[in-house]
Amino acid sequence: SLRGKCAVVTGSTSGIGWGVVSQFAKAGCRVMFHGLEEESQITNLKEELASFSKDKVAYSSADLVDPDQCRNLIMDANRQLGKVDILVNNAGVQFTAPVQNFPPDKWNWLLAINLNAPYHLTRTVIPQMYDRKWGRIIYIASAHGKVGSVNKSGYCASKHGLMGFSKSVALEAAGTGVTSNCVCPGWVLTPLVQKQIDRISEENRISIDEAKMKLLSEKQPSGEFIRTEDLAAFVVFLSSDAASQITGASLSMDGGWTTC
Ligand code: NAD
């Protein structure tokens, strides 16, 4: 149980982040969830989270493109939850184009959210974790943190970067009670991936089901999507005391995608 711990999960109004923050609430954490939606748009989600635990549920709509808003997110969590013991850097975006057509503004936007924001959040949160001699920082990287992919130079650069960053933080934090790890999922069926499935279906004039099969068969040997709740259970385990010696690791849950 993570009773008494306070957890912040970025990008948790949908997809993987929502699965993770829900399981933290069920495991007894006080949680802050986060996304770009206004407070008024997330009332139902807030009620659902509150139904999982008796503890207070906080929400932030910080735009992680902005370093000041990253810092404010942590300060806001400190105010609303009292402290931050667990930070899951999950918010992430995708943009696909061959490198010669990859617009510089899209590149900067993607790197700002996927790589720079985790840096700003980590540097703001880690001093209090050192003070309490306990902390868990988890980065949702990707199979694309380990291998490249056509038309995904920005995304792959951001996720490979996250892995190097997490390893360095882990070494700095070694022996302090604070761990830093990357989780590297393969295909998980979330809104981010659904957009890619819709595009494959349109471009190849095939059904959505056929597009799903095409997407999986190109990369994921298991031929099955990873379930959000399984990924979330893994993140909860990494946040537990049993995982105190797992640090600096880049742990795959990818149906065999990056096996070599
Ligand atoms: P999603 O699109 O369902 O959710 C993304 C979340 O990020 C949303 O809550 C959104 O509000 C938030 N977000 C986007 N831009 C933001 C910004 N500027 N500021 C603040 N928040 C912002 O995505 P998902 O599929 O659940 O992906 C979550 C993470 O997992 C991402 O980092 C993604 O790269 C990674 N990932 C996903 C898959 C997959 O198959 N779905 C695979 C590997 C890695």
Q: At what angle do helices 228-238 and 15-26 cross, to 10 degrees?
A: 50
d(CA 125, CA 84): 7
d(CA 96, CA 151): 5
Ligand 1 atom showing the smallest separation from residue 64 Cα:
19
15 CB near ligand 1 (under 6 Å)? yes
Tokens 């949680």 locate to 31
d(CA 92, CA 111): 9
d(CA 69, CA 208): 37
Position 167 scores a pLDDT of 98
CA nearest neighbour of 215 among 96, 91, 93? 96
182 with 158: CB under 8 angstroms?
A: no
CA nearest neighbour of 81 among 108, 57, 100, 102? 57
Domains of the chain, residue spans: 6-186+227-251, 188-225
Q: Please write the tens of the pLDDT for every residue from 126-175.
A: 999 999 999 999 999 999 999 999 999 999 999 999 999 999 999 999 99
- Which CATH architecture fits 6-186+227-251? 3-Layer(aba) Sandwich (3.40)
CA of 90 to the centre of ligand 1 (A): 6
Ligand 1 atom showing the smallest separation from residue 155 Cα:
34
Position 228 scores a pLDDT of 97
252 CB near ligand 1 (under 6 Å)? no
The residue whose CA is least distant from atom 41 of ligand 1 is 188
ipTM score assigned to the predicted complex = 0.98
Position 1 scores a pLDDT of 82
93 CB near ligand 1 (under 6 Å)? yes
166 with 250: CB under 8 angstroms?
A: yes
The residue whose CA is least distant from atom 33 of ligand 1 is 92
Position 46 scores a pLDDT of 96
d(CA 57, CA 53): 9
**Does the active-site annotation cover 155?**
yes
Question: In this structure, is the dihedral angle defined by the CA atoms of residues 215, 90, 248 and 109, taken in order, positive or negative?
Answer: positive
CA of 15 to the centre of ligand 1 (A): 7
Residues of the chain short of pLDDT 70, as ranges, are: none
195 CB near ligand 1 (under 6 Å)? no
Q: Write the DSSP string, the chain.
A: --TT-EEEETT-SSHHHHHHHHHHHHTT-EEEEE-SS-GGG-HHHHHHHHHH-SS-EEEE---TTSHHHHHHHHHHHHHHHS--SEEEE---------GGG--HHHHHHHHIIIIIHHHHHHHHHHHHHHHHT-EEEEEE--GGGTS--TT-HHHHHHHHHHHHHHHHHHHHHTTTTEEEEEEEE--B-SHHHHHHHHHHHHHHT--HHHHHHHHHHHH-TT-SPBPHHHHHHHHHHHTSGGGTT--S-EEEESTTTT--
